[in-house]
Structure 1
Amino acid sequence: MKVLITGANGLLGQHLVQKLLQQQFSVVATSKGPNRLPFDESEHFRYRSMDITDELTIEQVMEQEKPDVVVHSAAMTQVDECEKNPELCEKVNVYGTTQLLVDAEAHSKYIIYLSTDFVFDGLNGMYREDDDLRPINFYGFTKMQAEAIMHTSEIPWAIVRTCLVYGNPLQGTRSNIVNWVRENLQEGKPIKVVSDQLRTPTYVGDLAQGIVEMIKRTSTGIFHLSGKEQLTPLQMALRTADHFSLDKSLITEVTADTFTQPAKRPPKTGFDISKAEKELDFKPGSFEEGLAAMGETGVA
């Protein structure tokens, strides 16, 4: 089975490529720009440069590769940049998704779309798959639009919503909250971390394996894939400092009002993952297990 992944240079994309190759899938990794994946071209792996806003290139790649499965993880995800540059955000997250789906309907059998907890307003938290969508920033609005596009698919489709993904990249320096905390504390730099937001942080290896299980089952519909623990960024930072024996006194507790940010953040998200546990046998580890998998310096 051949799987094409968009956004393959990203944190999730890298780990998903790795897991699929380990489990004997053929993988076509695509991303904007050059290959940043630590895998050699082979019978089962190749990289294609593909900008999700370039309709002609998408059409050419999809027609040439004819993947059985498409996993669409490419997106403009910098929340403040989306707020400041809504036209580009919409071009990437909405129009890019539309074009990819058109070509997937012509050449593929199944498509998975990666979405976010930011499609919710953050008033309640621990959201289920059928809860109402009420995004409070432009990024979340475009992801909601793209989800609606997936619902029109003429081939089997699934939407995966996830939340605050962390882990080590296989190659490169793409940051996330855990690496940001660890790197700053290792360098003795003080950091300010909010305590008035709640999430269910997701270890990237768990997320990637959940998607692999969906591919194996051709699971359709909407799935929430995240960790089980609801934590504030401050709690994550303190636990990260403890795990890596770093100086917690460098961490200052603040609220979201401390920062001037163009985009609002939902205060309380996090997911009920009981559907994924039941239908996919999804078993995410604890936050501490995710930290342990990252290791002191290694990649996992």
Structure 2
Amino acid sequence: MNKTEHDPKLPRAMICGISGFLGTNLAIGLKGRFRLSGSFCHSSLPDSLTATLGKSQLYQVDLTDRQAVKEVIAVAKPEVIFHTAALSQPDRCEGEPDLAWQVNVEGTENLLACLDPSVRFIFVSTDLVFDGRKGWYREDDQVNPLNIYAKTKLEAENRVRAWAGNYVIVRISLLYGLRYGSRVDNSFLGWLSRSLKAGQPVYLFTDQYRTCLLVQDAVEVLFRLSRQSCTGTFHLGGAERISRYEFGQKFARIFGYSPDLIRPVLMSDLPCLAARAADCSLVSEKIIQATGFAPADVDSGLRVCLKNQAKESTG
């Protein structure tokens, strides 16, 4: 482990949900900037993550168990918390609403109950708190979540706002990038890459829009927020509004796959359990002004992913 990880001058930070896509990328991007620890529940951890932080800094804890959370917080003593843990699959949340509430709402409340108000609490929420009827949402626009996942995240936001502490709520758009410890893996890019490499067609929506965000940009913005005193709600998305189909076309061209394998489809053609919002694009002006960092457009972000993939493959 790098000696800077033990530097007593560095603040202590905990990543809740370190086994997830954002959490593992936070572990990479924050190394050397904090004395890091992380919590996870049921997911297995990449060996590279264990090597990065050390087993003593990784805590397996169920956030729905307040006493267990209290014990971990007492040992880790974080000064900053990045709360990325969630039951985040919309269809699963729809099928298991009680579990979604327990993890996303009660888990967040349990964490807050164990913290001193001086702890900098960075809560990661979602663009899906909006119904997608207009797009380009600002922080003060009316929320109207369409599915259980989004409703639980909104209620968790409300619990954070009710906490008399040092919090920031960041509504993040659809993330893309490399999975930590492997090349493009269990992520949106991972699914695209595996399918296209196998010559399988991929059906992507032409009528669903997001402001897709490079995960490294999310990490940088969250780090900058953690070192500032601003509070409240912020939106964080990429530089452009884009459909999943358009994103897939760009990905195929930049990564050298056949764009013909990306097939257009409407949301109504592929029904699913959870209701889907059509346009949850976010306006990120407020967070750009607060942090001085502007996220990349999709072309630039995908080229970063391609470069990072090449580095891992030569490793």
TM-score by length of 2: 0.90
Quick check: 2:37–2:53 contact (8 Å CA) kept in 1?
A: no
Q: Which moved more, 1:28-37 or 1:271-280?
A: 28-37
Counting aligned pairs with the same residue, the percent is 30
2:141 to 121, 131, 142: 131
Confirm or deny: 8 A CA contact 1:199 1:231 kept in the other structure. Answer: yes
Give the match's secondary structure for 2:134.
Answer: coil
Deviation at 1:32, TM superposition (A): 1.2
Give the Cα–Cα distance (whole angstroms) in 2 for the partners of residues 254 and 177 of structure 1: 17
Residues 252-278 of structure 1: CA deviation (Å, up to 9, x unaligned): 211001112011111011110100111
Q: Which moved more, 1:36-45 or 1:282-291?
A: 36-45
Pair 1:117-2:159 in alignment: no
Contact 2:135 2:281 in 1 (8 A): yes
Choose the corresponding residue for 1:59, options 70, 85, 100: 70
Gaps of 5+ in 1: none
Take 1:16 and 1:62, find their aligned partners in 2: how far apart are those partners? Answer: 19
| Closer, same or farther: CA 51–299 of 1 in aligned 2, 3 Å | farther
Cross-structure match for 1:97: 108
- Summarize the Cα distance change of 1:212–1:192 in structure 2 as closer, same or farther, 3 Å threshold: same
The corresponding residue for 1:30 is 39
AA aligned to 1:190 is P
1:147 corresponds, among 148, 157, 160, to: 157
Say yes or no: does 1:208 pair with 2:219: yes
Structure 1 contact 2–26 (Cα < 8 Å) conserved: yes
Indicate if the aligned counterparts of 1:224 and 1:272 stay in contact, CA closer than 8 A. Answer: yes
* Structure-1 separation of matches of 2:175 and 2:225: 18
Deviation by residue 1:171-210 (Cα, 9 ceiling, x = unmatched) = 2575232222222111101121110011000100000100
**Equivalent residues, number:** 298
- Alpha-carbon spacing, 1:219–1:290, altered in 2? closer, same or farther (3 Å): same
Matches of 2:21 and 2:297 in 1, distance apart? 19
C-alpha offsets along residues 227-251 of structure 1, whole Å, 9 cap, x if unaligned? 0100000000000011012112222
TM-score, L = length of structure 1: 0.94
CA distance in 2, matches of 1:42, 1:139: 30
Question: CA–CA distance in 2 between the matches of 1:43 and 1:179?
Answer: 27
1:1-300 map, 5 Å? 1-23=11-33, 25-33=34-42, 34-36=44-46, 38-39=48-49, 40=51, 46-105=57-116, 109-171=119-181, 174-295=185-306, 297-298=309-310
